[in-house]
Amino acid sequence: MIKLVFCLRRLPELSFEDFQRYWRDVHGPLVRERAQALGVRRYVQAHTLRDPFNEALRCGRGGPEPYDGVAELWWDDYESLAPAVMSPDRRRAARELLEDERRFIDLARSPVWIAQEHLELGE
């Protein structure tokens, strides 16, 4: 399987709570509605917790400010994701999601990439 990983930072004008609420309650359903057109097999939102332990982890490692969350989307294989298979429906779905992302994600500060997992432990 091929995975798209998207580390999200919210727009500066949004509170942490408003960002996570919009992502979960508005954007999440949009992704689910367009998943078939995009060929997405799995979609996970990992919402960062506001917890003192997270700050301790960051400080203990000298790390940067945390992301507000991480989105993961899975496809069966690279060919299922590749731009070469962009049907008009798929292009439209991708465009609609990008338009919505601009409403709550600071895209210039939110890295995105594709990856292949290598399971080291677990199922």
Show the domain range for 51. 2-116
Is the pLDDT assigned to residue 83 strictly greater than 80? no
pLDDT at 4: 96
Residue 39 lies in a domain: yes
pLDDT tens string 85-116: 678 999 999 999 999 999 999 999 999 999 99
Number of domains in the chain: 1
Residue 65: band (very low, low, confident or very high) from pLDDT cuts 50, 70, 90: confident
Residue whose C-alpha is closest to residue 4's, from 83, 102, 96? 83
Report the CATH number at residue 106.
Answer: 3.30.70.100
Whether 79 is covered by a domain: the verdict is yes
Provide the percentage of residues in the chain whose pLDDT is more than 90.
72
CA dihedral 4, 74, 16, 27 (to 10 degrees): 110
Contact 5, 113 (CB under 8 A): yes
In a domain, 99, yes or no: yes
Helix (H), strand (E), coil (C) string for 9-58: CECCCCCHHHHHHHHHHHHHHHHHHHHHHHCCCEEEEEECCCCHHHHHHH
User: Does some domain include residue 70?
Assistant: yes
Quick check: is 121 in a domain? no
Q: What's the predicted TM-score (pTM) here?
A: 0.89
- In the structure, what pLDDT confidence band is assigned to residue 80 with cuts at 50, 70 and 90? confident
Position 123 in a domain: no
| Residue 51 confidence (pLDDT) above 90 | no
**What's residue 84's pLDDT?**
60
Mean pLDDT over residues 44-64, rounded?
Answer: 84
